[in-house]
Amino acid sequence: MANKQVAPAPDPKLIEGLPSLKEQIITNAVAHYGPDHPYSDRYDVITLRSWGAPPASTNFGVALIVYEGETKARWKLLMRSNMHTHLEVAMEELRVWLMDMVFTDICNMALGDSRGRPEQSIAMLSPNGNGAVGISGSDVTGGVKRKKEE
Structural domains in the chain (count): 1
Amino acid type, 143: G
Split at pLDDT 50, 70, 90, the class of 51 is confident
Task: Calculate mean pLDDT across residues 79-93.
Answer: 94
Is 145 inside any structural domain?
Answer: no
Contact, 36 vs 135, CB < 8 A?
Answer: no
Is 6 inside any structural domain?
Answer: no
Task: Calculate mean pLDDT across residues 44-62.
Answer: 85
pLDDT value of position 8 = 56
Contact, 51 vs 60, CB < 8 A?
Answer: no
The larger pLDDT score, comparing residue 137 to residue 110, is at 110
Closest CA relative to residue 68, chosen from 23, 114, 129:
129
The rounded distance, in Å, linking the Cα atoms of 104 and 108 is 6
The larger pLDDT score, comparing residue 90 to residue 121, is at 90
**Domain limits for position 27:** 12-111
The rounded distance, in Å, linking the Cα atoms of 42 and 54 is 37
Global pTM value: 0.66
Is 38 inside any structural domain?
Answer: yes
88 contacts: CB under 8 Å, gap ≥ 6 = 14, 17, 18, 21
CB count in 10 Å sphere of residue 43: 21
Is 61 inside any structural domain?
Answer: yes
Is 119 inside any structural domain?
Answer: no
The DSSP string of 78-127 is EEEPPPBSSHHHHHHHHHHHHHHHHHHHHHT--TT-EES--HHHHT-B-T
